Chains A and B, each alone.
Chain A
Amino acid sequence: MIILDLALMLITAYFVGFIYYGLYRNITARFQRRIGPTIFQSFYDSIKFFGKKEAISHGWMFYLGPIIMATGAIMTLFFIPFFYQSESFSGLSGYGNLFLVLYLMLLGPLGNAMGVGVGGNPFGVMGVTRGLTRLFALELPFYIAVVAIMSISQSADIATIAGSQTTINAFAHPLLFIAALFSFVAMMGQSPFDVVGAPVEVYSGPASEFSGKFLSLLMSQSAIFSFAKLVLMVNLFLGGADGFFELLWKTFVLFLFVIAFGAIYGRFKTPQSVDFLIKVPTVIAIVGLIFATAWGN
């Protein structure tokens, strides 16, 4: 039965993720005063790339990169319960807690770094270096906020954290939420922290050398992973969800915020974004942690 559950979770995340990406492009287009593509556009793109034939090969190590990344994304998804009360759509969350999820979220980028390094494209390597630097910086405030939330809820189980919020954490502990939100924008690769794949600098960063099926795989994992991250944020800070409708509107509001944030800011350089993430959100998170521990108990 769990297999069916996992398959349903994957399919939901896949389609909702792609539709969110389509919406992202469409809403950004509206910001830019144009019509924009249909909301299924990203899905079309991904399928089209699946049908392309690569002209070259860099060896199996190179192609392991996207596969490890996709594995990381899917595993992350499986350990995040969609709803805090329901038995279905809880995946493997009974077998692993928040610590495991945080660990799994790191797996993908590391695997990708390995693959791109083999590819030998200097822009890909540069993109990966930038990505890992940014990852290091954004994890710091995010981990502090998550640790604070865990200590408040006295649990590391995501469903318990989501279910135990009488006032949702975003209002009860705004400082932690703000800190985590900065990290989240960076995690989603939005402006001003989108230095990894900056086209005017390093083409498309880590993905520069990928094409065809593996690019399609990268796009799919990115859609799934984005949805997993959105669900995680909703569970931790927005009180979780008790049904599909609640889940969708909560994730969408969060996603809309990320888009709007990205549309009006330019891109920071790598040192600038690291500097910013280590200073501002980290300090906010620490202050939030102190407040939470002082008042929480």
Chain B
Amino acid sequence: METNKHITIFHGPQHPGITGNMSVELDLIGETIQKATTHVGYLHRGFEKLVERRTVIQAFTIVCRICVPEPDPNEANFAMAVEELAGIEVSERVKYIRVMVLELSRLASQCMWLAGQSGSIGLYAVGQWAIADRDLILDLFEELTGGRVYHMYIYPGGVRRDLPDGFLRRLEKVLNHFKKRLKEYDNIFINNASFKSRAIGVGIVSPEECIKNGYVGQVLRGCGIEADVRKDAPYLVYDQLDFEVPTAQGGDVYARALVRRAEMDQSIHILEQVIDKMPEGEIMVKMPTHRKFKLPKNDTWVKVESSRGEFAYYMAGDGSEKIRRMQVRGPSLVHAFTLLEDLLVGAELSDVALIMNSLGICPPEIER
């Protein structure tokens, strides 16, 4: 090997262009990447061990910490798995409220992506606006749950508290604001010539590879495959709501950006239906106290669609009040290793942040 030509650098963990606390070891010739190795584990807290030591309801308070930018799919997964194992059926109203929370968090997470993606090409104005707009959603969350980022709201058996008075009206206001703002994002970012020139033809994934290696979310949809857990295996009340699964052709960074942008529209559309259809009813099933709440010896696999793709939990009970095993399978696990290491070979150093942001890699869910 011509050793003099190679240079090995660490892209992260302390780097402005990395999505969270992780690092990619790059082997470069000039600025072209020859080999990429992902390193994670900077955020490993041993959630799966901590959950085993706690009762079900105690565990509920910590699962939302598994994925920081978008905690709600974790809560929904956890609640759904516990309900399935314990045989609890929740009311219609709870299902609608959960859909509302999940879609709001999807919208917030996509705003975060807008900021990251535009920051990766140096368009800082979009990032500033998107983060400020995301704060409007966080305000709604704060009103509803008491927390800006971690909500601990989707409780096994229901939701923690009912909607405050006039909440849906305020939600509608925020949605109307978003509808106006999204057009501005289109003008300055999605249709911007400099973004197109950077994003088209970069980080191309083929559809066959997607199916074979289990890629999910925007990576699949960016290849023109209509894949969405909300449609394929509907949970909560997604089968009663009208929405489309946006797709795009090309499989590159730009296709994934288009898909995400269209998903924001769909989220708003779903939320508007939720506002119209919100039924009355109980918000919590009567449950035994947490010391007596036991899970039968059984296991299950539940999944929801997060903003970055399928987010799944494996959960096993053993007849005691503690969970025997909970395994988190986030979308980033395969994306950060199999996919990213593939895509970066042959790319340039300038493309690393671009590609990482377009995959939406979120390290805390890889290492838990």
Contact = CB atoms under 8 A, between A and B. Distances in A.
Does chain A touch chain B in the assembled complex, meaning CB atoms less than 8 Å apart? yes
B27 to A, nearest CB: 12
Interface in B106-126: 118-125
Contacts of B118: 266
Given A126-B349, A266-B118, A192 B194 contact: yes
B124 to A, nearest CB: 7
Nearest to A192: B194
Interface in A2-54: 28, 31-34
B16 A199 contact: yes
A282 to B, nearest CB: 18
Given A32-B128, A198-B350, A201-B352, A266 B123 contact: yes
B194 A265 contact: yes
Interface in B157-210: 188, 192, 194-195, 197-198
A32 B129 CA distance: 7
A122 interface: yes
Interface in B309-368: 348-353
A278 to B, nearest CB: 16
Nearest to B357: A200
A198 B122 contact: yes
B9 interface: yes
Contact of B15 (A33, A203, A264, A272): A203
Interface string A204-231: 0000000000000000000000000000
Contact of A266 (B17, B128, B132, B192): B192
Given A201-B352, A269-B348, A263 B120 contact: no
Interface string B1-21: 000000101000001110000
A256 B73 CA distance: 45
Contacts of A203: 15-16
B31 interface: yes
B192 A200 contact: no
Interface string A129-148: 00000000000000000000
A32 B17 CA distance: 20
A235 interface: no
B124 A269 contact: no
A68 interface: no
B366 to A, nearest CB: 21
Given A266-B195, A266-B198, A195 B129 contact: no
A60 B325 CA distance: 59
Given A194-B122, A199-B17, A268 B31 contact: no
A123 interface: yes
A268 B349 CA distance: 13
Interface residues of B, number: 29
B349 A202 contact: yes
A266 B194 contact: yes
Contacts of A32: 124-125, 128-129
A202 B123 CA distance: 16
A191 interface: yes
B125 A201 contact: no
B122 to A, nearest CB: 4
Contact of A263 (B31, B125, B198): B125
A28 B129 CA distance: 13
Contacts of A202: 349
Contacts of A272: 197-198
Contact of B198 (A33, A122, A264, A269): A269
A270 interface: yes
A201 B351 CA distance: 8
A124 to B, nearest CB: 12
A266 B123 CA distance: 5
Nearest to A268: B194
Contacts of B194: 191-192, 265-268
Nearest to B11: A201
A200 B9 contact: no
A28 B127 CA distance: 13
A200 B198 contact: no
Interface string A95-130: 000000000000000000000000000110010000
Given A195-B350, A200-B16, A267 B132 contact: no
Contacts of A33: 128-129, 132
A32 B123 CA distance: 10
Nearest to A200: B17
B195 A201 contact: no
B350 A270 contact: yes
Given A194-B122, A267-B194, A269-B198, A122 B9 contact: yes
Given A33-B129, A191-B122, A268-B197, 11 more contacts: A28-B125, A34-B128, A123-B9, A194-B122, A198-B122, A200-B120, A203-B15, A265-B192, A266-B118, A267-B350, A272-B198
5 pairs of A and B residues whose beta carbons are closest in the complex: A200-B17, A267-B122, A266-B121, A266-B194, A32-B128
